[in-house]
Structures are given as C-alpha cells and as structure tokens.
Amino acid sequence: MINIEFIINNIPTFIALAATGVLAGILAGLLGVGGGIVIVPVLFFLFQGFGVSSESAMLIATATSLATIIPTSVSSIRSHNQKGNVDFNLLRRWAAFILVGVLTGSWLVTRVDGTLLTVLFGVIATLSALNMLLRTGKSALFQKLPGTIGQTVMGTSIGFFSSMVGIGGGTISVPLLTLYNYPAHKAVGTAAAIGLIISLPGALTMLTLGETPAGAPVGTLGLVNLIGFVCIVPLTVLFAPVGASLAAKLDAAKLKKVFAVVLLLTGLRMLVQVFL
C-alpha cells in the first residue's frame, strides 16, 4: 500500500517519471511523433539509473510504454476522427492481421531476453531517425497500396514489431503508408487507431503473462510499471496541446530534424550498450 513514507522515499522516481510524461506530451504535440518512441528509451535509461539491469529495464520500459499509449491513443483517435482523418476501411482490412502480429510479438516479449528488444528498438529508432532526416519532402516510391498479400504482411509486421519495442505503430505505419502514396494526414490519423489495436492487447498480454523480473522497480505488475503509468499518462495528455501550441510558433520542420538527430544518437547508444 502506498503511504506518505513510500512517496517521500521515492520522490526522485516520481519526478523522473513525471518529467518523462511532460517530455513525451510536448514532443507528441510539437512534432507529431508517437509517445512510445520517446518513453521507451527514457524509461530504459531511467530504470537502469535506479539499479535495474539493462535486460529487465528494456522489458519493463516496453510494456509500460504500451500501457501509456492506450488512453492517449483514444484521445488522439477522437481528435483525428473529427477531422475525417481515420480510414476505417483500411482498419477493417488490417485489424485482424495487426492483432495477430501484436499477440505474437507481445507474447515473445514475455519469453525473450531484454537484450533482443534493446537491439530491435535501437535498429527501429535509427531507421526512423534516418527516414526523418533523409526522406523529408520526397515523393512516394509506389502509386498505391499493394494487394491483399502485401497488405497482410504490412499489417502483421506493424503489429509485431511495434509491440516488441513498445511503440504505438505510427513510427512504422506512417512512413510505410506514405511510401505507397497514401495521404499523410490520413496516415497519421489512422496510425492513432492502429496504436490502440497494438497497445491494448499488447499491454494486457505483458501485464498478465509477463513474469516480474528480480530487482524490478517498485509498483511493477507483470512487466508493466503501474507507478510509471500513473505518473506519465496524465502529463502526456496535459502537455500534448502545449506542444501543439508551440508548433504554431516555432519551426516544427527544423525541430523535427533536431529530434531525429537525438533519436539517431539514442538508437545508436542503445546498440553500443549491447555490443560494446
């Protein structure tokens, strides 16, 4: 049971988790990036700072990130749907395949070593950063989405890899869809709905089937750190509009490039920690 003494003894943890929520919210509103791409690496390094092994830190960061995406994606879906930017026809075609990928990926998270997830996140973060830096303003490579088999592979892969590294799907689905000449605004809006399909079953799987690692941060159930969830979610929702307001005043394109460089360095740093 949480009491005053517990809160006092863990003030640095609460402050760090709250700062994570603020940062994720501002960047989400400012740059249009998903919170998971921010939350996972921050929690990964934060938990290690509290004495958690890198393997366990990555497992818990992944599951906790997915849990935080559930409420934020619901809010995001409502906002995008009001603007007509959620493609429900695409969702109906992809939902089952995304779900298969999510259930497979999230189950694997409960069974594999966290080192594999660190490598996978490092690779995805690095590729995502390079995409932001190198493909800005570039034309689509294809004129339309592939056939049924191709879309099946796309949906399953988005669910699988996103759940494995604790991101909502936008990091993978938006650049993938825009490669096929899919309207960018609809890609972003539909990605919000994809995020819910990924985060809800993914987080529940890791919460119920995951075995809490030895030395896990206090408040961890399964692989989800509930204290992290409670601290991050309200502040992410609260500060996303702040980021959106800043985007109207600042050069978001330049800021996105700065973020891409930071993300690139973060991804490489995670890979270096594994291999060196």
Provide the number of structural domains found in the chain: 1
Rounded Cα distance, 76 and 72, in Å:
6
Question: How far, CA to CA in Å, does 149 sit from each of 65, 93, 140, 166, 204?
Answer: 30, 11, 20, 26, 29
What's the whole-model pTM score? 0.90
pLDDT tens, N- to C-terminus, the chain (276 residues): 556 776 777 788 888 888 888 888 887 777 666 678 889 998 999 899 888 999 999 999 999 999 999 888 887 888 788 888 889 999 999 999 999 999 999 999 999 989 999 999 999 999 988 988 887 666 778 889 999 999 999 999 999 999 999 998 788 888 889 889 898 888 888 988 999 999 999 999 999 999 999 889 888 999 999 999 999 999 988 888 887 777 777 776 787 788 888 889 999 999 998 887
Token pair for residue 136? 């800005």
**Enclosing domain of residue 76:** 4-275
Question: How far, CA to CA in Å, does 9 sit from each of 12, 168, 208?
Answer: 8, 33, 28
Rounded Cα distance, 133 and 130, in Å:
5
